């Protein structure tokens, strides 16, 4: 269920019952993000840097580079023109873990679809 939550950003009522909690660990979320990033080279899988004429992907996303570094980028569209880039930025990380946890903090600091993220004890 954690993978479904992280990749779709939503759980329906039966899925929430299966999850059995109103909280998931940041470490479980990070494991899913890392797996998808390793598989696709980008997280979320549908994210990409904006190109002229295309709809702007809104929010934060991770891009794994060939040299092993990871970029956390963000972009926003013009509120009335979704194919026009209004703002963007990025940060580079040498550590995959550091990039993933920065992404989680930036994108999901208040949780995902009403499900809070918690740290395991001792972490």
Q: Is pLDDT of 122 > 80?
A: no
* Nearest Cα to Cα of residue 117 among 14, 10, 29: 29
* Per-residue pLDDT, 123: 47
* Nearest Cα to Cα of residue 95 among 70, 66, 62: 70
* Per-residue pLDDT, 120: 65
Total count of residues recorded for the chain = 123
* Per-residue pLDDT, 102: 97
pLDDT tens, position by position, 9-52: 999 999 999 998 889 999 999 999 999 999 999 999 999 999 99
Using the 8-state DSSP alphabet, how is residue 44 labeled? S
Query: pTM of the predicted model, to two decimals?
Result: 0.89
Q: Where are the domains of the chain?
A: 2-118
pLDDT tens, position by position, 89-107: 999 999 999 999 999 999 9
Which parts of 1-115 are beta strand (E)? Answer: 23-25, 42-43, 59-64, 70-78, 81-93
Count the neighbouring beta carbons within 10 Å of the beta carbon of residue 25: 15
Q: Is pLDDT of 83 > 90?
A: yes
């Amino acid at each position: 269920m954690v993978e479904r939550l992280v990749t779709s950003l939503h759980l329906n009522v039966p899925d929430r019952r299966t999850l059995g909690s109103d909280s998931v660990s940041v470490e479980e979320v990070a494991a899913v993000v890392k797996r998808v990033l390793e598989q696709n080279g980008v997280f979320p899988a549908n994210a990409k840097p904006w190109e002229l004429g295309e709809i702007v992907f809104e929010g934060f996303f991770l891009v794994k580079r060939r040299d092993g570094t990871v970029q956390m980028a963000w972009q926003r569209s013009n509120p009335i023109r979704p194919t026009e880039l209004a703002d963007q930025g990025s940060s580079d990380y040498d550590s995959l873990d550091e990039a993933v946890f920065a992404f989680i903090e930036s994108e999901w600091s208040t949780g995902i679809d009403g499900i809070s993220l918690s740290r395991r004890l001792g972490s």
